Each structure stands twice: as structure tokens, then as C-alpha cells.
Structure 1
Amino acid sequence: MNMLKKIAKGGMIGLGAYLGYAFFTSNILLHYKKPKSREELEEKGLPDYYGDDENDGPDKAAFFDTQDILLTLHLNLIDSAEKTIKFANFSIEDGAASDLFYGKLLEAADRGVEVYILFDGKGHNLFGISNGKYWALMGHPNINLAFYEEFDWLRPWTWQNRMHDKYMLIDETYILTGGVNLEDAFFVKDNEEAVYDRDVVIINKEPERYDESVVKQYAEYFEAMWFHPYTNVRPNHVMKRYENLARETYEELVSTVKEAEEKNLYGASRTIDWDEHLYPTRKVSLVTNAIQRWKKDPHILATLGRLFDEAENSVIFQSPYVVPSLEMREYISLEHTTAKIFFITNSMAVSTNFPAIAGQRKYLNELSSDTTQFYHFQGKGYIHAKAYMFDRRLSLVGSFNFDPRSSFLSQENLVVIDSPELSAALEESLKDIARNSVPYNENAEHLVENTAENVPTPWYKKILLGLAYVLLHPLEDLL
């Protein structure tokens, strides 16, 4: 009995020591790791992202922001692939959307397309030694699977290094990028659980000008991530005891696609006419964070900081939450621009991300004084889209949230589009969301006239947000 007590006591001491070690190295040390300053980064400004006013660039661009088409985008692009598919995504969950997606990738691989799948090492649905989807993918000679920064018990400082990107590259001709995760809530739920997001599709219409195309920049970024030491590329191999499981799961996924197309479920049999949606562009560029552990050099935040400073007329931006921490404000200033600033975010009533919205709550008064007007979304569901628009000409869309985690801890990307035509359409999309929102300051200038009624925050959510505010206040860097 005494021996058991000693073992139990030793185990508790060991567990406590490990938890302390993990907390210290994965959280506390972050406060002492400083990235390069804004001056050291020397990011480009507005004129650098503008193209020739007289001539279009090689890329055309379109954006899509309704649930009924976002999954169709992915499926149509996979169908169009002839040579390669390169896909990177932060999160994929079990459900109809992921089954259709995997099934489509397997069909593409069957017709000879080389498929590369890169997941964040902690955000996918392929965990477990007996996971049939994992073995179905690994068993196909034309599918290559890799994971960025997988969970490492011995190195907790790697836990915060996440790949938050969500993009797909087809034949080095098409790019799909935005904020969409492969989860049913983004595609097939039209209720309080729905998540509303936005994807951009870029098409290189002039292959002879490939070097000028943003498609080349995305291809180089994907290669840098795929071959990086933080990425684990799995060998194509199926353990003998899982060969039947791999084959059965393959058949199930492919049959799921056929059934969805026959019954036109989730828009699976719909074909998008790209020309109906495309806008001309003068120039399209890519901005990403540095591929680093600890705190990354915040290239995206510093770029936004310079664009905010140089905007002359207006800035309109949308983020699921807005948490302008003290460290972020070393790179970006909302109060020093001469432009009018409008932004749209979730209200406490609809948000499901308690830590982030609690962090936003801390800055409400400052945000009110530093901006022209901001809106709290009050509609059904939850907005997850991220967009930034400057002087009704330059539009930035991608995975970057306006918070410390996206700024310093995660791999992120924003596509920068110089197109007054696309900006005009994007502004209308943002105004539609503002109309389903409540202005924070009724007496300030408005982006739209008619807005929603205020929805009270449920009492239980107020309690949870209050707790999150108190408990997470010292951990703002992680929000």
C-alpha cells in the first residue's frame, strides 16, 4: 500500500512538473520573444500594391460569400484539375462537406491528377490508427499527405505554431483562398449554427504572364510550407491489416459523391460559370506571415499598418473579432489615419468564441474613439469572414483575423487585389452585413442607414464572457 502511495505521489509530482513546464514554455516565454519591429520589416505601401491604371494584370478575381455556393466552389475546382491540386487548410471536421471533399479528391487522383494535401497538425479529422479516411488517402499513389507542426509532448513551445491558412491551388492556374474551414457549418447549415464566410477565386487568364500572377506567389508559398522542417510528409503506405478498411472507405467516399451529384445535394451537381463572376484586376499580390516558431515576424499586420496610415478616404474591414492588443499597436494605428474607418464584427450575443470576444470587449471604448463607426452583427449564425478594403480600390481577403494570434502566432495569408470593380461589389457585401448589425455609436457617421434591432446577450453568456475576461486577461497574446 505504501508503495502504491509513493507511486501515486510521484506520478502527481511528475504531472504537476510537466504541466508547469508546458505552461511556461508554451505561454509565458512568448511574452519575452520579440519579433522584428515595423521599421525592420519595411513592408510595402499602397502604391506598391497598385497596378497600371491603363492596363489589366494577368489575373481575374471573383468572390463568393453565400453558403449555397462555397462548397460548390471547392468541388468545381477539383473537377477542373488536370495536373495538380495543392490544398492547405486549418480545420476539417467529419460531416457531409468533408466526405464530399475527400471523395472528389480521390476521383481526381483516379484520373491521374497529383494531389497534395497539407493540414495543420492539430486541426484535421484524420487522427487515430484505425481512421479509414486516412488510410484511403494514404493508399492512393497519386495522393500526398502532410501535416504542419504536429503535436509534440516534449516541445510545448511548438503548440502555438498553427497553420491557419485556407487555400487551394489548381494546375497553377486557379487559386481559391479565404477563411473557410472544411466544416458543415460553413456550407450546409442555415440556422443559428451557421457560419458565414467568404472565398476569393483568382484565375490566371494569361499563362504567358505567369511570373506576374499571384498564382506563382501561392505556388511558391505552398512549396515553402510543404518542404519546411516543421512539416511532416507521410509516405504512401497502408499497413496490411488496414488494407480492407482503406478500400472500403475509398468506395464509401466515392459513392457519397455519386449520390450527392445524382440528387444534387449540397450543390454537388451545380456548375459555376466563372465568367459571370469575374472582375478585372490591375494587380494581385500575396502577403503571408513568416514561417517561424515562437512569435513570427508579423508581415501581414505591418502591411495593414502601413495601408491604414496611407489610406486617404476610407477603410472598411470585417473580422470575427477585433482585439488590438498593445503589441499589435506597435505595428498598426487606427487613430492616426486621415481616412474614415468602418468595421464589422460579431456581437456578444451571437459570437461562439468566448476568449476572443472577451478580449474584444476590453477595447470597445478605444475602438469607438479610434474609428468612425463599428457594427456588431446581430443576424442568425456567426460571421467568420475577414476582409479589408482601402479607398474603395484595394481589397484584401484571406485567413487573417484582427487579433494577436493571427498577427504573431499563426501562418496566415491575405490576397491583395487592386480592382475598383471588385471593391465596389465587396463594399455592397459588407454593407449587407452591416444592415444586419447594430452600430456601436448611434450619433456617429454611418456606413448604412437601416440596421438591425439590438439582441440582448443571454445571461449565461454574460457570465461566461465575464469569466473569460478575468481568466484570460493575462494571456491576451494567445487570443
Structure 2
Amino acid sequence: MIIVIFYLLYSVIFAIVIFKFNHPQVSNDYKEQHKVERFYGKEESQDRVILLEEKTFAGYARVNLMENAQESIDVAYYAIHKGYITDLILGMILDAADRGVKVRILLDGFSHGLRFSLKDDQYALINHPNVELKFYEPLNVLKPWTWNNRFHDKLLIIDHKYAVIGGRNIGNRYFVQEGEKNPTNDRDVLIINTEPETAEGSVLKQMESYFDEVWNNPIVMPPYNKLSSRQQAKAKEANKQLKQKLDDLRNTDKKIFNNYYDWVSMSLPAKKITFIHNPIQRFNKEPWVWYDLTNLMKKTKNSLVIQSPYVIPTKPMLPYLNNLQIPADKITVLTNSLASTANVMAYSGHIKHINAMVTKNVNVYEYQGTDSIHAKTFIFDDQVSAIGAFNMDSRSTFLNTESMVIIDSPEFTEKLKTEMNHYFKHSLKVARDQSYEKNPDLKPGKVSWIKTYGVKGLSYITGLFQHLL
């Protein structure tokens, strides 16, 4: 009992308490080398961009890119969930590897999902000679300070020519339109390097360098150095089953496969696309992504739109919002309502900040659908947009790996705003008293009393550690 109590105390101190203090400021070196002007282009870039908004097409795009991969596939995700889509994606990865494509898979060491019923699939990936698998900061019960720095990126890079980045993890809820228990609306972008022979001018070069940096970091490691004979036998059986599932899908859902997409003609031009990310380190990090986003906010004068699943601007984040030129009433925040949220823990932290936003005249809209919104998006003056994995909270700011692309393209921004209007039409504006302004065309989403009082009660607890939400 003494040992258990000591361990619990040790874990609380080094997994929770120490992260409440010492939030590093952005260094002068980073500031000097990363001016806000670098996000703006003067002429058309060699990179073009496609918005992947609709769930089904976002899945089709991934299948098509892997189906046509010739040299390399780099995969980086926070979470993989059991289901039809995961079987499809893993089957496509093994199919590409069979063709000689070199595949690297980088997953978070906690949330990767390749355990229990998917454990044998993990063996199948490791056992393939053309596939490498690594986990970011796997669980170490003796080092609780490593538990909070999670790998939150969502990247797919194909043949040095195509890249997908956004907020989607791998699972049915992100790609299947109907029949899911917790359906989630999200957003990706597909970036095309139209001149792959001149890689230096493309954002894909920045993304590949980042992937390599994480991949080669000592806190990133393979789950096994070598599989046992028993694990190899399971790997072969799992490989066989995944390929059989893929063959079955090719027969039953032919519309998924062998599609022709002229990605370039479908894409929109951009003056410049820039990749931003957080440092790769333990403990609280310098908030590079938050610094870059708030610098863009300071350049914004006419309109700022922010979409995040929840908004938890903790005290260490607030100084970066000083000196904004844009009036508060020109700022619009789109987020989940209590009815739509799928993350009650984070939402219990979010509710403590709603009042501060609306009393400052920020326009806060809460989505009332039966599904939830998970996309992370910023739009600055209808010209520049940011899309990626960054939630507007302390965890994304100081703890996780995070990445986004900054897109200087009025054409793309216009397309993005059109798609986001769907969510605004199903959202209600929060009034000063934190009720909703009346809308004759839309009623607030239904919320059970258990969820209502559960979130409110939880907020008193999570208020003590909002730095970890």
C-alpha cells in the first residue's frame, strides 16, 4: 500500500503538477527566423490545393493516392480506430508495400490503436520488408512526465508529390456518412507539388523534413526489434486477412477503387503554402504554432474566423493575443455546443471561457447537430487560411506535437468559407447571458440531463488542470 501511494503521488507530481508551471516563451532565434511575412506570396506557387471536406471523398482521395503510389508513403497519425476504414487503409498500405513502395508509419505511442483486436495487424506491418513502424513516446510507467507530450499530427505524404494534412484520424467516424455511433465532421487539404523535380520550392519539402526529424528522434522507437516465431505466424495470418478484406471490398464496393482524378485540374492556386509545427521535445514546449497563428491574427484587420472543437485559452496563452488590431466584433468563433460535443472532458474546460468571449463582443456560434465538429481552421481577412491538427487549447499550444499549413489563396479561402457556411447554418449564436439568440429556423440541440449536469460538475474538477485539456 505504501508503494502504491508513493507511486500515485509520484505520478500526480510528474504527470500533472509540473506541467502547470514554466511555460516557455518563444525564443528570439525563432522570432528572427520566422517572420510573419513568410506566409505571404507575390505570385502563384508551384503548390496547388484541394479542400477535402466531404467524408466519403476524403477517404476516396486517400485510397487513390496510395493506390497510385510508386516510391514512398509516409503516414503519421495520432489515433487509429477499429473498423471498416482502418481495414481498408491498412490493406492499401500492405498492397502498396507488395508493389515495392517504401512505407513509414509513425503513430502516437498511447493512442495508436494497434492493440487488442488490432495487435496482429501491427505484427503484419512490422513483418513486411517494405514497411517500417514507429511509435512516438510509448508508455513508460516509470517516466510519468512523458505521458502528456503526445504526437497529434495527421499527415500523409506520397511520392514527394502529394500530401494530405488536417484533423482527421483513421476511423469510420471520420469517413463514413451514416450509421456511426459518434459521427465526426472534419477537414483536410490535399496539396499537390506540380513541379516535383524542384522540391525546394514546395511545402512538401518542409513537411518531409519535419517527418524525418520526428522519425529520427530518440523518443520515437519501433514497438519490437524482432518478432518471435509466434508473432510472425500471427503477422502472416493478419496479412492474409487484410488482403482478403481488401479483395472483398474491391468486389463489393468498386466505386472506391481505380478512380481517375485529375488532381491538378481539380485544385486551386495558391500564392504560397507554408508548413508550421511545434518543437519535438518533452515537458512544456515553446508555443511555435500558437505564436505563428497569433502573429497572423495581429496582421488581420477586417475579419477573423476560428473553428475549433472547443476553445480553452489558458492564462499562459493570453499574452500572445495582446495588440490585436481587429475589433472583437469582427472575430467569429465556431465550435461545438453541449449537444454536439463528443469530448465532454475538454468541453467542461471550454464552458469556463464562453462568458469571457461573448462579453468582449466576440461572435461565438455553437453547432447544434447530432454529429460533432472536429476541424481546426483559421481564416484571416478572407485571404489566408490555416488548417491542421491544432486545437485552440493549452495542450496543443505547449504539450503536443502539432502541425498546420498556412495557405495564402483568396480562391481557396472562398471555397473554404462556402463549406463552413453549412455549419454556421446549423449553429446558434451565444448571447451575453450565455443562452442562445433566437433563430426561428433552428432549435437548440437536445441534451440529456446526465450530460448537462455531468459536464457542469466535471468543470469544477477540470478547472484545476486546464493546462492538460
Given the two structures, how large is their TM-score scaled by the length of structure 1? Answer: 0.91
Matched, 1:413 2:384: no
Task: Find the counterpart in structure 2 of residue 74 from structure 1.
Answer: 62
What per-residue deviation string (whole Å, max 9, x for no partner) do you get for residues 197-231 of structure 1? 01100010012431111000000000000000110
> Does the residue aligned with 2:392 lie in a helix, a strand or coil?
coil
- With over 3 angstroms needed to count, the CA separation of the structure-2 counterparts of 1:139 and 1:342, relative to structure 1, is same
1:58 to 16, 37, 46: 46
2:149 alignment counterpart:
161
Single out whichever of 370-379 and 329-338 deviates more from structure 2: 329-338
Alpha-carbon separation, structure 1, partners of 2:94 and 2:182 = 29
Which of 366, 386, 392 in structure 2 is aligned with 1:396? Answer: 386
Could you tell me which of 274, 288, 291 is aligned with 2:277?
288
Shift in Å, 1:277: 3.0
1:156-195 paired onto structure 2 within 5 Å: 156-190=144-178, 193-195=182-184
Q: How does 1:338-377 map to 2 (within 5 A)?
A: 338=327, 340-377=330-367
Q: After superposition, where does 1:10-89 map in structure 2 within 5 Å?
A: 12-37=1-26, 41-42=30-31, 44=34, 46-52=36-42, 55-89=43-77
Per the TM alignment, residue 100 of structure 1 is displaced from its structure 2 partner at its CA by 0.7
Secondary structure at 2:286 match in 1: coil
Q: 1:149-208 CA deviation, whole Å, 9 max, x = no partner?
A: 000111100000100000011111111000001111111252562111011000100124
Aligned counterpart, 1:476:
466
Q: How does 1:27-426 map to 2 (within 5 A)?
A: 27-37=16-26, 41-42=30-31, 44=34, 46-52=36-42, 55-127=43-115, 131-190=119-178, 193-234=182-223, 237-264=226-253, 267-268=256-257, 270-333=259-322, 337-338=326-327, 340-426=330-416
Separation in 2, partners of 1:40, 1:470:
39
Given that 1:56 and 1:282 are in contact with CA atoms closer than 8 Å, whether structure 2 keeps it comes out as yes
Deviations 1:423-477 (A, max 9, x none): 000011111111111111399xxxxx98632224321111111121011111010
* C-alpha deviation, 1:91, in angstroms: 0.1
Please tell me whether the aligned partners of residues 335 and 371 of structure 1 are also in contact (alpha carbons under 8 angstroms): no
Aligned to 1:436: 426
Q: Residues 297 and 324 of structure 2 are in contact (CA less than 8 Å); yes or no, is this contact kept in structure 1? A: no
Residue 135 of structure 2 aligns to a residue whose secondary structure is strand
Partners of 1:334 and 1:274 lie apart in 2 by 41
1:127-155, Cα deviation, whole Å (9 max, x unpaired): 36992111111111000010100001111
Aligned counterpart, 1:5: none
Q: Secondary structure at the match of 1:92?
A: coil
Name 2:436's counterpart in structure 1: none
Count of matched residue positions in the alignment of Structure 1 and Structure 2: 463
Contact 1:90 1:165 in 2 (8 A): yes
C-alpha contact 2:339 2:369 (8 A) present in aligned 1:
no
Q: Are the equivalent residues in 2 in contact too, given 1:177–1:398 (CA < 8 A)?
A: yes
Consecutive unaligned residues in structure 1, runs of 5 or more: 1-11, 444-448
Q: What is the CA-CA distance between 1:304 and the residue it aligns to?
A: 1.3
- Listed one character per residue, the Cα deviations across residues 317-368 of structure 1 (whole Å, up to 9, x for unaligned) are 1000011111111222496534711110000111121121111110111111
- CA-to-partner distance for each residue in 1:10-64, whole Å, 9 max, x for gaps? xx11111101101100110112233124767427455321101xx2111010111
Offset, 1:81: 1.0
Tell whether the 8 Å contact from 2:85 to 2:171 is kept in structure 1 after alignment: yes
> CA separation of 1:429/1:333 partners in 2, compared to 1, >3 Å: closer, same or farther?
farther
Residues 58 and 130 of structure 1, relative CA distance in 2, 3 Å threshold: closer
Q: CA deviation at 1:82?
A: 0.5
Q: Distance in 2 between matches of 1:441 and 1:311?
A: 25
Report if the CA contact (8 A) 1:334-1:371 is conserved. no
Which ranges in structure 2 are unaligned for 5 or more consecutive residues? Answer: 434-438
| Equivalent position amino acid for 1:250 in 2 | N
- What SS does the corresponding residue of 1:207 show, helix, strand or coil? coil
Q: How large is the RMSD of aligned CA atoms in angstroms?
A: 2.4
Letter in 1 for 2:11: A
Q: Is the 8 A contact 1:84 1:113 kept in 2?
A: yes
